[in-house]
C-alpha cells in the first residue's frame, strides 16, 4: 500500500492498485493516500464545485427529454385508457408488469449493500452504499409507477391501500398483489429512512462547509441539527445497526412477495416453489449490475476513483458472478424438475419457453444472465472498466428478458389453447419504459450533483489506522503478542 502521492483531492494523484490477492494483507479501501481531510474534500468537492462537468449537463438534458416522454406517455395513457398498451388476451400482464419487476429488482442492491453487507462486515460497501441506496430508491419509484397506472382508473389508485371508505370497499387481502403494495411500500419507506439517516452527518459536513448562505440553510435544515457530538454518534451507530437488522429481511421479502404474484397461481412456469429465493438472487444480480453500470462512469466523471476503487468494482463483479450462477442454478432446477415431475404441462411450458415463438427471448436471457457473467471468472476482465460496463449492461438486458420470458411466455400459451396468441408491445409500451429511464436518470443525476455520493463518515471509518488489528499493515506481522485484543479471549460467565 504505497501511498506515494500527496493527499490532495483535486489534482488526481495516481490511482493505486488495490486489487491484489495476498491473503496476509487486507487491501486499502481508500487509495491515493487520502486521509480524513482528503476524503471530505474529495466528496464534498463534487457538490461544491461551481459547475458540474459538461457531461453531466449532456446526460441531464437527455434524461429530461426521456422524462418528458414519460410524462407524455402517461398523459396519453390516462386520457385514452390501458388499451394503448399491448396487453390483451391472453397476456394481460405484458410490459407494465415486466418493467415493474425489472425496476423493483434493480432496487435491491442498495439495501443489500447497506444492510446485509453491513451485517457481514464487508467494509468495502462504504464506498458504494450511498449511491447504491439512492439508486434503490429511484428504481423503486420507477417500479411503483407501473401498478399505479396499470389499474386503469388512475384517480382511484388509493384503493390499493386499505382505506376505510363510505362504500365499504376493501382490497383483496388474500391476493399477492395486495401484499405487493405493502411489501414495496415498506421497502421504499425503510430504504429511504436508511438512506436519509446515513446522509445526516454528511449533510452537516456540507452545511459546515457551505460556500453560500442558501446552501447553509438548506443543508442545515436537512442535517437536523447534527453537531457530531459523542452522543449523536452513539445513537447514530445504534440506529444504524437496528435499521440494518430490520432492512435485512426486507431485502428478501420484497422480491419474494413479487415472486408470489406469479408463483401462487397455477400457470405452469409460474407455479414453482423456488421462485422466492430465485427472484431475490436475480434481483441482487440485476441491482449490482445497475450499480456498476452507473458508478463506472460516475466515478470517472466526478473524480471518485479513490473511493470507488477498482477493488470495489471487482467485488461487485464477483457478486454479479455469484448471483448469476445462482440464477443459472435456478433455471437449471426449474428445467430439471419439469423433466423430473413427469408433468406434461410443466414440460410443455418449459420447452415452449426455450423453443417456441419466444425462444429468442429465452436465448437472450440465458446468454446475458448465465453466459456473459462468466467473463468475471477472469481477473483481467473483471478489473477492466470497459468489460464490466458492457457486461453489466448485458446483465441488465438479460434480467429484463428474464421477467419477459417468465411473464409473457407462460401467459401466451396457458391452459386454453384456443386463446393462445403472440404478444407484441405497442409504441406506448416502449416509450413508457424508455421514459422511466429518464425519470431514474434525472433523479440520479440530481443526487450526484447535490448530495454527497460517498458516505464520508463511513469511509473514514474503514481507513487502515482505524483498524490496526485487521492486517492492513503488512509490516507488523508476528507482533500480535503485544496487542490488547490478542490475548486469549475470555468468556463472560
Partner 1 sequence: MASATMTAPAQLGARRIDDLLPRINRGVQMAFVVGALLTLLSFVVPAFRERVWATYLAAFTFYLGITLGGLFFVVLQHLVRAGWSVVVRRVAEGIALNTKLLPVLFIPVAVGTYQGHLHPAAAAHADHGGGHGAAHAPADPGHAAPGGAPAPADPAHGAGHGGGHHAPHAPLKAKWLSFPWFLGRMLLFFAIWYGIASYFYGSSVAQDQDGDPARTSRMTWWAAPLMIVFALTCSLAGFDLLMALDPYWYSTMFGVYFFAGCFLSFMATLIIAFYVLRRHGLAWEVGPEHYHDMGKFMFAFVVFWAYIAYSQFMLIWYGNIPEETVWYLRRMEHGWLLVSAWLIVGHFVIPFLALLSRFPKRRPELLVAGSAWVLFVHYIDLQWLILPQPEAARAVPVPLLDLGLLLVLGAVYVRSTAANLTGVSLIPERDPRLRDSLAHENF
Q: Under the rule (CB under 8 A), what is the footprint of partner 1? A: 20-26, 119, 121, 237, 249, 252, 256, 260, 263-266, 271-277, 325-326, 329-330, 333-334, 337, 339-345, 377, 469-471, 474, 477-478, 480-481, 483, 485-493
* Closer to partner 1 by Cβ: residue 207 or 403: 403
* 3-state secondary structure at position 89: coil
* Closer to partner 1 by Cβ: residue 80 or 343: 343
- Exposed (0-12), middle (13-18) or buried (19+): which is 393, by Cβ within 10 Å? middle
Cα–Cα distance measured from residue 116 to residue 131, given in angstroms and rounded to the nearest whole number: 16
Opening angle at CA 188, ends 303 and 293, nearest 5? 30
* Closer to partner 1 by Cβ: residue 377 or 422: 377
Report the nearest approach of partner 1 to the CB of residue 20 (Å): 5
Tell me if 204 sits within 8 A of 226, measured CB to CB: yes
Report the nearest approach of partner 1 to the CB of residue 174 (Å): 9
Q: Name the residue with cell 417500479.
A: 143
Report the nearest approach of partner 1 to the CB of residue 264 (Å): 4
Q: Name the residue with cell 429484463.
A: 400
What single DSSP character describes residue 163? -
* Closer to partner 1 by Cβ: residue 23 or 211: 23
As a three-state string, the secondary structure of 13-59 is CCCCCCCCCCCCCCCCCCCCCCCHHHHHHHHHHHHHCCCCCHHHHHH
Q: What is the largest CA-CA distance in the chain?
A: 80
Q: Name the residue with cell 462486515.
A: 121
Cα–Cα distance measured from residue 364 to residue 358, given in angstroms and rounded to the nearest whole number: 10
* Closer to partner 1 by Cβ: residue 235 or 487: 487
Report the nearest approach of partner 1 to the CB of residue 135 (Å): 24
* Closer to partner 1 by Cβ: residue 93 or 138: 93
**In whole angstroms, how far apart are CA 260 and each of 49, 209, 365, 464?**
47, 48, 21, 44
Cα–Cα distance measured from residue 100 to residue 432, given in angstroms and rounded to the nearest whole number: 12
* Closer to partner 1 by Cβ: residue 149 or 181: 181
* Closer to partner 1 by Cβ: residue 41 or 414: 414
Report the nearest approach of partner 1 to the CB of residue 40 (Å): 23
Report the nearest approach of partner 1 to the CB of residue 119 (Å): 8
Report the nearest approach of partner 1 to the CB of residue 116 (Å): 10
Report the nearest approach of partner 1 to the CB of residue 317 (Å): 13
Amino acid at each position: 500500500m504505497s501511498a506515494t502521492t500527496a493527499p490532495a483531492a483535486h489534482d488526481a494523484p495516481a490511482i493505486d492498485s488495490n486489487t491484489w490477492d495476498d491473503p496476509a494483507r487486507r487491501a486499502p479501501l481508500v487509495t491515493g493516500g487520502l486521509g480524513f481531510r482528503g476524503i471530505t474534500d474529495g466528496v464534498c468537492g463534487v457538490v461544491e464545485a461551481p459547475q458540474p462537468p459538461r457531461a453531466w449537463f449532456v446526460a441531464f438534458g437527455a434524461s429530461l427529454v426521456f422524462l418528458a416522454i414519460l410524462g407524455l406517455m402517461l398523459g396519453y395513457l390516462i386520457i385514452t385508457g390501458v388499451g394503448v398498451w399491448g396487453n390483451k388476451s391472453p397476456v394481460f400482464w405484458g410490459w407494465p408488469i415486466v418493467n415493474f419487476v425489472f425496476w423493483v429488482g434493480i432496487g435491491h442492491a442498495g439495501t443489500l449493500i447497506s444492510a446485509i453487507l453491513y451485517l457481514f462486515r464487508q467494509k468495502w460497501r462504504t464506498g458504494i452504499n450511498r449511491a447504491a441506496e439512492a439508486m434503490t430508491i429511484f428504481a423503486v419509484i420507477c417500479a411503483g409507477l407501473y401498478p399505479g397506472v396499470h389499474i386503469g382508473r388512475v384517480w382511484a389508485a388509493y384503493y390499493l391501500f386499505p382505506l376505510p371508505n363510505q362504500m365499504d370497499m376493501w382490497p383483496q387481502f388474500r391476493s399477492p398483489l395486495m401484499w405487493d403494495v405493502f411489501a414495496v411500500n415498506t421497502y421504499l419507506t425503510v430504504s429511504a429512512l436508511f438512506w436519509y439517516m446515513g446522509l445526516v452527518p454528511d449533510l452537516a459536513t456540507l452545511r459546515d462547509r457551505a460556500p453560500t448562505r442558501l446552501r447553509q440553510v438548506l443543508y442545515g435544515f436537512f442535517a437536523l441539527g447534527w453537531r457530531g457530538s459523542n452522543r449523536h454518534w452513539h445513537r447514530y451507530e445504534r440506529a444504524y445497526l437496528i435499521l440494518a437488522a430490520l432492512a435485512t429481511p426486507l431485502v428478501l421479502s420484497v422480491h419474494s412477495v413479487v415472486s408470489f404474484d406469479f408463483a401462487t397461481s397455477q400457470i405452469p412456469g409460474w407455479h414453482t416453489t423456488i421462485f422466492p429465493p430465485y427472484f431475490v438472487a436475480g434481483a441482487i444480480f440485476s441491482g449490482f449490475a445497475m450499480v456498476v453500470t452507473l458508478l463506472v462512469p460516475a466515478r470517472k466523471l466526478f473524480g471518485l476513483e479513490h473511493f470507488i476503487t477498482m477493488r470495489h468494482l471487482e467485488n461487485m463483479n464477483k457478486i454479479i458472478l455469484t448471483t448469476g450462477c445462482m440464477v443459472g442454478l435456478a433455471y437449471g432446477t426449474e428445467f430439471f424438475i419439469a423433466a423430473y415431475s413427469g408433468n406434461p404441462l410443466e414440460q410443455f411450458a418449459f420447452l415452449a419457453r426455450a423453443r417456441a415463438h419466444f425462444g429468442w427471448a429465452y436465448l437472450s436471457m440465458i446468454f446475458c444472465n448465465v453466459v456473459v457473467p462468466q467473463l468475471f471468472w477472469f481477473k483481467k476482465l473483471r478489473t477492466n472498466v470497459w468489460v464490466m460496463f458492457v457486461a453489466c449492461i448485458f446483465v441488465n438486458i438479460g434480467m429484463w428478458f428474464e421477467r419477459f420470458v417468465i411473464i409473457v411466455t407462460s401467459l401466451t400459451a396457458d391452459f386454453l389453447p384456443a386463446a393462445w396468441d403472440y404478444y407484441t408491445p405497442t409504441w406506448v409500451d416502449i416509450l413508457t419504459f424508455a421514459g422511466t429511464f429518464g425519470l431514474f436518470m434525472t433523479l440520479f443525476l440530481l443526487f450526484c450533483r447535490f448530495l454527497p455520493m460517498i458516505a464520508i463518515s463511513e469511509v473514514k471509518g474503514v481507513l487502515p489506522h482505524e483498524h490496526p488489528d485487521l492486517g492492513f499493515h503488512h509490516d507488523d506481522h508476528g507482533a500480535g503478542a503485544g496487542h490488547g485484543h490478542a490475548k486469549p479471549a475470555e468468556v463472560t460467565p
